[in-house]
Each structure stands twice: as C-alpha cells, then as structure tokens.
Amino acid sequence: MDKKYDLIERTENFGIRIINLAKRIPKNTITLPIISQFIRSGTSVGANYCEADNAESKNDFKHKLGISKKEAKETIYWLKMITNICPDLKEEINLVSKEANELNLIFNSIINKCS
C-alpha cells in the first residue's frame, strides 16, 4: 500500500478517535472550551496533512506538514488538560497521546528529509 495513503488514513483515524474521545468528556463551562480546542487541533492534523499531500511546491508541502506537526503537539497539550478533568479516561487518553506523539515524530522526520 502507498505510504501517503497510509498516513492519510492514519490521520483520518486519529481525527475520529479525537471526536469519539471528546464525546465522552462531561460538558460544562470549564470543559466546553477545552473540548472545542481539542477537537480543532486534533482534527486539524489530518486536514493539514491532506493539504500537504496536495501541495503546490516543496516549500508549501513543508509548511503544511509543519502545521500538522504543531497541531499534533497542541493536541498532546489538550490531552494533558483532559486527563486532569477526566482521570477515568486516562488509559484512552494515553493511547491517543501516544498516537499524537508518533504522528509528530513522523512529520518531523519527513520535514527533515525535505531539507
């Protein structure tokens, strides 16, 4: 299977996991803004990777991939906040955080190979 397709599928699955986890967080005045930020950063990883995959130039590719990398890191931050709010979700949060970290490392590696 084509590696680009694997990464597109992987980032799509990551976004789905983000949405499903967000659905399990209790909704209140504290959690609603955090959930919103978490969903934005987590689903942006795949959206920006798709844009990178269709980049118009090498620089555009690196820029879009850099955004995916930053969004993966931001998602890890929000996952830490959610762990504080919902310690009962810690096991699932750790799995999603591990995937965010792996995606961040993959994007970093691709960016470094383009330089």
Structural domain boundaries of the chain?
3-114
The answer to whether the beta carbons of residues 78 and 43 sit under 8 Å apart is no
Superfamily in which the 3-114 domain is placed by CATH? 23S rRNA-intervening sequence (1.20.1440.60)
pLDDT score, position 115: 72
Write the pLDDT tens digit of every residue in 5-61.
589 999 999 999 999 999 999 999 999 999 999 999 999 999 999 999 999 999 999
Q: Per-residue DSSP letters for 8-66? A: HHHHHHHHHHHHHHHHTSPPSTTHHHHHHHHHHHHHHHHHHHHHHHT-SSHHHHHHHHH
Give this prediction's pTM: 0.92
The answer to whether the beta carbons of residues 39 and 22 sit under 8 Å apart is yes
Sign of CA dihedral 7, 13, 19, 22: negative
pLDDT score, position 114: 87
**How far apart (Å, rounded) are the C-alpha atoms in residues 65 and 45?**
9
